[in-house]
A and B are shown apart, each in its own frame.
Chain A
């Protein structure tokens, strides 16, 4: 092998190794990413058919050969075409000057027209030239006139194929008086339509998919976005400025098929307006245009003759019921604002709501109102309505250290989260015989007990060794008195090997008291809920002495809502006593309002009565299922918290009545 071949081989090997390295890098990167960073799921977006740009020409500020002051449909001027004038006003745009031109789908020219003697048989032309000036597309469509000396309104739509969407291309539209007759054009509106993805803004995260909100602070996918600027704003610093005679306000179009099936029966919109002159005439419009570009439906509500004060923000709203029987999936539903009066006005905070709120779930109630009225209503077993069983919040003192409700939350085990696993039992005998809580975090675990003296949970033990041979996620842990010594033990069972260990807490550390392979079935079998009767697989059952009267059960189901019920057992059947609700919590911090909740029940306050410790938070995961949360979210109006509850003493009457 000569040097040249060797060199070639080395080059080939180097290239191959480079390619291999790149391949391996690209292949492993996502995994690393998944391991090291939190993946934020993309919030669902809406595909919206919108007006990318809208321009309007009424020729009032134009001078030139084609401008006539003899005839006009608005103002005092129009565009005249005559035997001497073959081409009317030409509107030209470099493609890159059209916002989001990559999404451009069509161009609509709307105008008023009138001829003098003979129908001119004229055309409106769309022409596209490439960067060198070479024509690459030409389309002419006839201008339809109504009758001689009478203004009529026309609208022509030009489809634009994707291959013409090059940023240097030049797009022109103009009227062509090919037969050199006399006619006039006025009030030309050119609408560049396209599709775009609507990204939920921070504010609209709060809304359902059917609620759209535009505060114009960021790039906004509405038509006429060039009119959005820093100006007097209702919120933020930017708003939609309709001064200088601009007629076309913001509008949003959506394909009906995007809005679900059945189609929404209603469209509502609102906006804040700031008139800069008297007597504004704005029209909130709703419209539906079919695939043939025919208007199937149009409705508008005008502010004309209403008392809107100049230089003052006023909110205007409108709701329209849509003729759903006439609509098709391809139809485009539009909502927007038309500055009919052409007065100077600023628009901000546009909101559009499609459809109506969801109907309640379930079937209609079978309760006879007359039976209630005549006091002969008798409830049916395990069927709603149920009594409200109130649990009162118990005060837990805060502490800076080692409490489950510390003022300054550390990253230790005391920072309880619904993601954590908890075990409850009397692991360490104290003078009150109260139960302790063990919190299992991913890399640490700690035990806490309630002190009636300080009225707070204090940390008894903590293990923060991530790879502890005993306390790790390879084991399942169960509480119980497995060795019949009167104390609650911890049973650890290796998930793979089924080896088990029984541990006892001596006040300082956990002592291994017994171990073996394959735990007895009764040690772990009664830890699972039997699905029967009103108990479903999604229910979690929490037995306890909540009422002191007898053993009762809390049944939690969060598949749909936070649904906590108090049950009792008669023979082998569970009976619902009532729906549990809470009182005494600060502000709005009702546990049932949190997105992610974990219940921990135990005799934390007294040995006679079972309390409920509730660990709750909100979750920013887009696809949060209620089981595990990657992005715990601390909302200011609903801060994550831990609350302790006991059944209200007032509930005693219910049970007295019952028994």
Chain B
């Protein structure tokens, strides 16, 4: 066994937090010396207490061996319905990360020592330590941390001889969902690890080694992360960095410099699964094919499924009996004005916004180009449908930076008339009830109980509903009560005086004629707990920008910010990126032509809105909205024609990191 160079820190109290300061200084000096002596590129770290010394903790030795500190892994979507496993057996043969460290007995006799490895998602976590209460941050127990899959495997025993030699210890672990094996996700004896999937982003690795005596002082709820202390989990990272574990003199907690970045990037050419329950009892399966349908391959491996919008029957509208291609037919504002004024009531078509009844007719997965195509179908006389279309992911995550590369339909034509569609990129709860409840809301009775209920809905402490939206459509960008909704002139229907019916739009609308509004919304279910919860319009500053967040009333379930952007830029180019950066304490909405050219268009934090912490799915839709949802919208959905031609949109990439 090679005897590596190491630094022996003899004072036990330097084993813990102080060691980090010293460590950096010494490491720099040691590195210089080491390189000078050995001319080798491998770096080492040695930590000692009076009883033992450990070194060379390498949490992942069998993955990306060339990269020591920064490793990346893409989540394997094959057969991932029961939850993501990092690594999968496709990544490494046994489906486990190997880790190793070396240990030396510093005492005069052989001794039993105990070790355990922990991992934690660092990208989307609450800080473990609360500097105000000087205790664990109450939300740190929500962090995604784990250890060996079998949580009852506490610390593993090793017997180390007093031979003054380092002994290499090798073991393995993997990152799985529900790492604490919480009862919340276990049903009928089955651990539904997919209900708490591993988070994307960076992971850290913590090796803890303790003597037998110290082990007795490590609480069982730290040794077995399945256990709770007073109804709450205690984050082992907190315990060993800031809590009782910090003071254990014969315990070394070594956080590796190696970090692993987990990225989810589903193959959009891997097919679209059809969930029959979304289409009612019997449905037309005549369009099923290898890349869209219900076969077992798609069931196991398709990362996407066809999305069917919730249709609010109460939003029935009487639509003008016109079928036209607004984007191609040179449809003008004058056309809009005439059609608005000169159809009598009996000529209108009572319309309910529709969703597809024929799966796989409006969504397509292209395995060659690895993209998805969606299209709002054209309609014809007697059919008169405005049909929304979309797709939804099948694997939920909590938090993540969701970035999509898309070319969705242009919303305005060359006359800047809106085609009535809303392009939406949004996250929605994975549903499921209690297992997916958001954190309790502890003020004024909690959340509004349902998504669809009115203002008199009852309040409950917890709900599973959550939603974070990008909705892009033609509507005024500002807060309705802040800069005031536009005043529209009254229109008449005197055909012998075209100034009676051909009323121009207000100047503030025409000034931004080629723009659409990017609406960024968080459905916080009207939880009053955030410190700055408010109604009306409130400025939310972020990075030299001020975003006006708007909420209609105290029982309104969503908070929205709006920004005006060029329709041509967002939907006229070959592709464009949209990003929802969902973090534990903030949500950032960004858009841009390239991933490195993103700009912020919306920002909210936990001071103004309840940030969801449950598991959500991503949806991309081109949907028809009732414009009554959007006060001040210059075009009314019922006065816009039915689509004469298909309206396609393409999705090229989805990356969650």
Interface residues of A, Cβ cutoff 8 Å to B? 205-208, 210-211, 268-270, 284, 301, 306-307, 314-319, 351, 353-358, 360-369, 372-373, 375, 377, 379, 383-388, 558, 560-562, 583, 587-588, 590, 592-596, 618-619, 624-626, 635, 637-638
Contact = CB atoms under 8 A, between A and B. Distances in A.
28 contacts: A206-B504, A211-B490, A270-B506, A306-B482, A315-B508, A317-B485, A318-B484, A358-B490, A358-B493, A360-B345, A360-B348, A361-B344, A361-B345, A369-B352, A373-B354, A384-B344, A387-B381, A388-B322, A388-B323, A560-B493, A561-B495, A562-B342, A562-B495, A590-B334, A593-B338, A595-B497, A624-B496, A625-B496
A379 B485 contact: no
Given A269-B487, A385-B321, A207 B349 contact: no
B382 interface: yes
A618 B334 CA distance: 15
Interface in B474-511: 482-493, 495-500, 502-504, 506-508
Nearest to A352: B487
Contacts of A211: 489-490
A373 B499 contact: no
A206 B503 contact: yes
B485 A356 contact: no
A366 B546 CA distance: 49
Nearest to B317: A369
Contacts of A318: 484, 487
A372 B383 contact: yes
B384 interface: yes
B349 A353 contact: no
B343 A315 contact: no
Interface string B346-368: 11111110100000000000000
B347 A362 contact: yes
Q: Binding site of A, secondary structure by majority: helix, strand, loop or mixed?
A: loop
Interface in B506-520: 506-508
B335 interface: yes
Contacts of A562: 342, 495
A385 B347 contact: yes
A361 B493 contact: yes
B329, B352, B483, most chain A CB atoms within 10 A? B483
Contacts of A625: 496
Interface residues of B, number: 54
A385 B318 CA distance: 12
Which 7 pairs of residues, A with B, have the shortest CB-CB distance?
A362-B344, A317-B484, A206-B499, A385-B321, A384-B347, A369-B350, A362-B345
Contacts of B184: none
A558 B352 CA distance: 32
Contacts of A366: 346
A469 B546 CA distance: 81
A379 B382 contact: yes
Contact of A638 (B491, B493, B498, B539): B498
A374 to B, nearest CB: 10
Contacts of B485: 317, 319
A316 B349 contact: no
B348, B483, B489, B508, most chain A CB atoms within 10 A? B489
Given A284-B484, A353-B487, 13 more contacts: A207-B499, A208-B491, A211-B490, A301-B484, A307-B546, A357-B488, A358-B493, A363-B346, A366-B346, A372-B351, A385-B321, A562-B495, A588-B334
A163 B211 CA distance: 111
A588 B334 CA distance: 7
Nearest to A595: B496
Interface string B382-417: 111100000000000000000000000000000000
Contacts of A387: 381
Contact of B493 (A367, A383, A561): A561
B346 A208 contact: no
A372 B323 CA distance: 15
A306 B539 CA distance: 10
B489 A353 contact: yes
Contacts of B497: 595, 624
Given A361-B344, A367-B350, A369-B316, A268 B496 contact: no
B321 A358 contact: no
B338 A365 contact: no
B498 A595 contact: yes
A355 B490 contact: yes
Given A317-B484, A372-B383, A593-B334, A364 B495 contact: no
A319 B486 CA distance: 9
A366 B341 CA distance: 20
Nearest to B546: A307
Contacts of B343: 360
B345 A208 contact: no
Contacts of B347: 362, 365, 384-386
Contacts of B495: 558, 560-562, 595
A555 to B, nearest CB: 16
Contacts of B507: 315
Given A363-B345, A372-B349, A317 B496 contact: no
A373 B489 CA distance: 35
Nearest to B539: A307
Nearest to B506: A270
B645 interface: no
Contacts of A385: 321, 347, 349, 381
Nearest to A635: B498
A384 B486 contact: no
A375 B348 CA distance: 17
Nearest to B479: A306
A560 B347 CA distance: 15
Nearest to A301: B484
B332 interface: yes
B391 to A, nearest CB: 23
B321 A384 contact: yes
A208 B490 contact: yes
A395 to B, nearest CB: 17
Contacts of A362: 344-347
B58 to A, nearest CB: 54
Contacts of A383: 346
A353 B488 contact: yes
Interface in B116-168: none
A360 B344 contact: yes
B333 to A, nearest CB: 8
B503 A207 contact: yes
Contacts of A361: 344-345, 493
A306 B486 contact: no
A367 B345 contact: no
A81 B479 CA distance: 49
A373 B316 CA distance: 12
Contacts of A593: 334, 338, 498, 502
A418 B316 CA distance: 42
Nearest to B497: A595
A368 B487 CA distance: 34
B487 A319 contact: yes
B492 A372 contact: no
A383 B502 CA distance: 27
A351 B506 CA distance: 10
B496 A619 contact: yes
A222 B482 CA distance: 27
A267 to B, nearest CB: 10
Given A362-B347, A363-B345, A592-B338, A208 B500 contact: yes
Contacts of B503: 206-207
Contact of B486 (A317, A363, A375): A317
A558 B342 CA distance: 12
B483 A316 contact: yes
B160 to A, nearest CB: 67
Interface string B503-542: 1101110000000000000000000000000000001000
Nearest to A560: B495
A318 B322 CA distance: 33
A284 B323 CA distance: 41
A355 B321 CA distance: 27
A282 to B, nearest CB: 11
